[in-house]
Copies of this chain bind each other. A is one copy, B any other.
Amino acid sequence: MSLPVLVINPNSNDEVTASIDRALDPLRSNDAPPIRCITLKDGPFGIESQRDADVAAVCVGAAVEEQVDNAAAIVIACYSDPGLGAAREITSKPVFGIAETGLATAIMLGGRVGVVSILKKSVDRHWSYARALGLDRRIVADLPVNLSVAELADEASVASKMLDVGRRLRDDHNANVIVLGCAGMARYRERMEAELEISVIDPTQAAVAAALSALRLEYRGERRTNGS
């Protein structure tokens, strides 16, 4: 049997992993590699700061080293892409970060991209990373819902806040594709898309889809110059 796409949730919150796992069901097929989601026991419970992301990066590096022989491709399921660079140094199998892949997927759809962030302080990190990726000119706005990752679990009230941000992205900033700026927002995709009538991208779904395509088409991982 073929090796799975390994989806690493870099935080230690099993509920988030379970919700990610459910959201990936549409991508499962008898005719494709399996998809396996894991929680990093040593990761921070939520990734709400640069420091959390730094800790997560190290945990991801360790997990990739440990698990890479049992995976055909790897997805890092946190919108800060922690450990992405390290993972690509460790293995030449394809590794996908959900921020990088989510934004690229939105661009493929022709979009003026709007991003939904959890916290105001995430917004700065997002812009800095988008500049590093050279993709910032395609993002029309990045707006926070101002919820902690914990609060995201309270679906009823969260949904209306996210819809509100989605409407502002669409109507005030002319976004025509929305990227959810957190792996924990997966469960809200369907609702938002139904209400807003524009594509809403769960970046974990996008990255797993990209990983499955990469396996079919036998893309290599990025070639990191090594030795020198």
Contact = CB atoms under 8 A, between A and B. Distances in A.
Interface residues of A, number: 80
A221 interface: yes
11 contacts: A26-B218, A50-B89, A51-B86, A121-B225, A121-B226, A131-B137, A144-B228, A197-B220, A201-B219, A206-B213, A213-B213
A228 B49 contact: no
B109 A219 contact: yes
B57 A121 contact: no
B112 A83 contact: no
- The complex is assembled from copies of this chain, and their number is 6
A104 interface: yes
Nearest to A86: B51
Given A54-B54, A58-B58, A225 B32 contact: no
Interface of A: 26-27, 29-32, 49-51, 54-55, 57-58, 61, 82-86, 88-90, 94-96, 100-101, 104-105, 107-112, 119-121, 123-125, 128-129, 131-135, 137-138, 144, 146, 174, 176-177, 193, 197-199, 201-202, 205-206, 209-210, 212-214, 216-226, 228
Given A49-B89, A58-B58, A124 B108 contact: no
A146 B226 CA distance: 11
Nearest to A65: B51
A214 to B, nearest CB: 7
A228 B120 contact: yes
B132 A128 contact: yes
B205 A209 contact: no
A211 B77 CA distance: 22
Closest 9 CB pairs of A and B: A50-B85, A51-B86, A209-B213, A134-B137, A110-B222, A132-B132, A31-B31, A54-B57, A104-B104
